């Protein structure tokens, strides 16, 4: 059987940014202005983000990877230190810990939230532990009450990898408005974008000043035109071209996230429960619905032996499916550091079975039904 109605529709990717004409015009304006790198647009976006985050200091960088790495440097994490994190995230989360010379200590995830298991975190704390680096997977926040209770009790810094949770809330309080250091990503696939980019929300202006040095060669400039370099910094400043996009996106963030929540709700209404998928937690108060990720059934039908076959067959139905993420302790780099299969069973189970279905604000009514229908046909072998 063929699928004329599905295959004839335009290809539906698992995500796509929504950039409006006003934003495009504002980029053109920057390009014509004579000042295209870090400047007034970055300042304006930092101010707007700070306002959103309860007046806390916010500084932009050209990726969340840079924000996380510099956050670790900011709190003095280095060789000999341990940082506790999740194995179920984009690999940047653990890579930055290695980059600063420290050791990532993975603990398994909770099977329902798929976020770091805070009970396991307590057991992994050693005298070398310096910081906790939790991730809000798919925009579903880690329990902030429990997280900060653990951090306080053990005198640990927290670097929140909130790359995916822009606009998410924890019991009514927006992520970024409270807590220790909070890092957001503005990568093209995130809920708001600057093409590439990110920011760090900090506690004090002193931290922000050090962060400014770390992001640009360690330089401090003086009013008389002179400068000094007293720490080793890198090169991670954002451009005004990118910041102009961010200013347009930030204005629409709440509308985007509302649309994402409505689409996620449609998935829960329309997804065929009898196919044996494990759906994500049905959360409509905290999550910004960065992704909708069912887990494939534990035993797949004979005509679809692997996740790869599922993804490929969905593609022939005109539907893009992503994988976010395989458990990272099984990557060669981490295996070479002693990690092995079987170490974190929940992260491995989820990492092997997770699929990311289309969810982005530009989806039209009918798209969710189209995806759910395709999943049904693909699983039942009704696709030729």
| Choice from 14, 53, 90, 211 touching ligand PLP (CB under 6 A) | 90
For the segment 93-132, give every residue that binds ligand PLP (CB under 6 A): 93
Residue 154: C-alpha distances to residues 109, 110, 132, 372 (Å): 21, 21, 11, 46
Q: Are 310 and 323 in contact (CB under 8 A)?
A: no
Please tell me which residue in 43, 190, 213, 376 is annotated as part of the active site: 190
**167 phi and psi, to 5 degrees?**
90, -5
Q: In what order do the strands lie in the sheet with 103-106?
A: 58-61, 198-201, 181-185, 157-161, 129-133, 82-85, 103-106
Which stretches of the chain are assigned E, i.e. beta strand? Answer: 58-61, 82-85, 103-106, 129-133, 157-161, 169-170, 173-174, 181-185, 198-201, 219-221, 227-229
Q: Which stretch binds ligand PLP (CB under 6 A): 6-14, 58-66, 246-254, 315-323?
A: 58-66
d(CA 93, CA 86): 8
d(CA 83, CA 3): 49
288 touches ligand PLP by CB under 6 A? no
135 touches ligand PLP by CB under 6 A? yes
Q: Which stretch binds ligand PLP (CB under 6 A): 15-23, 85-93, 275-283, 333-341?
A: 85-93
198 touches ligand PLP by CB under 6 A? yes
d(CA 45, CA 279): 36
Q: Between 45 and 92, whose beta carbon lies closer to ligand PLP?
A: 92
Q: Which pair of tokens denotes residue 184?
A: 């957001």
Q: Which residue has the tokens 């954002």?
A: 238
Q: Kindly state the smallest distance separating residue 275's Cβ from ligand PLP, in Å.
A: 27
Q: Which residue has the tokens 């996009």?
A: 245
168 touches ligand PLP by CB under 6 A? no
Q: Are 84 and 108 in contact (CB under 8 A)?
A: no
Q: Between 86 and 313, whose beta carbon lies closer to ligand PLP?
A: 86
Q: Kindly state the smallest distance separating residue 183's Cβ from ligand PLP, in Å.
A: 8
| Choice from 161, 180, 212, 348 touching ligand PLP (CB under 6 A) | 161
257 touches ligand PLP by CB under 6 A? no
- Quick check: bond before 331 cis, omega within 30? no
291 touches ligand PLP by CB under 6 A? no
- Separation of first and last alpha carbons in the chain: 5
Q: Kindly state the smallest distance separating residue 293's Cβ from ligand PLP, in Å.
A: 13
163 touches ligand PLP by CB under 6 A? yes
Q: Kindly state the smallest distance separating residue 366's Cβ from ligand PLP, in Å.
A: 28
With CB under 6 A as the rule, give the number of residues binding ligand PLP: 14
d(CA 114, CA 287): 13
Can you spell out the DSSP letters for 363-383?
Answer: PPTTHHHHHHHHHHHHHTT--
Q: Kindly state the smallest distance separating residue 165's Cβ from ligand PLP, in Å.
A: 9
Q: Between 67 and 321, whose beta carbon lies closer to ligand PLP?
A: 67
Query: Would residue 190 show up in a list of annotated catalytic residues for this protein?
Result: yes
Q: Kindly state the smallest distance separating residue 383's Cβ from ligand PLP, in Å.
A: 31
| Residues 6+ away with beta carbon under 8 Å from 76 | 130
Q: Between 100 and 163, whose beta carbon lies closer to ligand PLP?
A: 163
3-state secondary structure of 257: helix
65 touches ligand PLP by CB under 6 A? yes
Q: Are 128 and 80 in contact (CB under 8 A)?
A: yes
Q: Which stretch binds ligand PLP (CB under 6 A): 161-169, 217-225, 310-318, 352-360?
A: 161-169
Q: Between 164 and 354, whose beta carbon lies closer to ligand PLP?
A: 164
Q: Which pair of tokens denotes residue 129?
A: 């532990």
Q: Between 138 and 372, whose beta carbon lies closer to ligand PLP?
A: 138
164 touches ligand PLP by CB under 6 A? yes
Binding site for ligand PLP (CB under 6 A): 63-65, 89-90, 92-93, 135, 161, 163-164, 185, 187, 198
The catalytic residues are: 190
């Amino acid at each position: 059987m063929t699928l004329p109605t599905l295959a004839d529709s335009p290809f539906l990717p698992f995500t796509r940014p929504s950039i409006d004409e006003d934003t495009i015009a504002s980029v053109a304006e920057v390009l014509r202005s004579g000042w295209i790198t870090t400047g007034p647009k970055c300042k304006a976006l930092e101010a707007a983000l700070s306002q959103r985050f309860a007046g806390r200091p916010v500084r932009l960088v050209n990726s969340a990877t840079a924000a996380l790495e510099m956050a670790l440097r900011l709190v003095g994490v280095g060789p000999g230190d341990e940082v506790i994190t999740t194995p179920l995230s984009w690999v940047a989360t653990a890579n930055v810990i290695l980059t600063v010379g420290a050791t990532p200590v993975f603990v398994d995830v909770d099977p329902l939230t798929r976020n770091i298991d805070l009970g396991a975190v307590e057991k992994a704390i050693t005298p070398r532990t310096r910081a906790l680096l939790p991730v809000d997977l798919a925009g579903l926040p880690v329990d902030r009450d429990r997280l900060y209770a653990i951090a306080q009790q053990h005198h640990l810094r927290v670097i929140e990898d909130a790359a995916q949770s822009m606009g998410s809330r924890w019991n009514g309080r927006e992520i970024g408005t409270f807590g220790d250091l909070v890092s957001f990503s503005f990568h093209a696939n995130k809920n708001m974008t600057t093409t590439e980019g990110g920011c760090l929300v900090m506690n004090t202006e002193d931290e922000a000043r050090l962060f400014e040095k770390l992001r640009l060669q360690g330089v401090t400039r003086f009013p008389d035109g002179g400068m000094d370099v007293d720490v080793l910094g890198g090169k991670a400043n954002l451009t005004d071209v990118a910041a102009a996009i961010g200013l347009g996106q930030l204005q629409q963030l709440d509308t985007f996230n509302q649309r994402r929540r409505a689409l996620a709700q449609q998935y829960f209404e329309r997804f065929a429960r009898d196919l044996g998928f494990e759906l994500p937690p049905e959360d409509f108060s905290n999550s910004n619905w960065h992704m909708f990720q069912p887990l494939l059934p534990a035993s797949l039908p004979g005509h679809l032996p692997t996740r790869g076959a599922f993804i490929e067959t969905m593609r022939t139905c005109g539907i893009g499916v992503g994988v976010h993420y395989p458990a990272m302790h099984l990557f060669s780099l981490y295996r070479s550091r002693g990690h092995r299969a079987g170490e974190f069973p929940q992260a491995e189970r989820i990492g092997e079975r997770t699929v990311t279905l289309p969810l982005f604000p530009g989806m039209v009514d009918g798209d969710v039904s189209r995806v759910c229908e395709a999943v049904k046909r693909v699983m039942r072998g009704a696709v030729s």
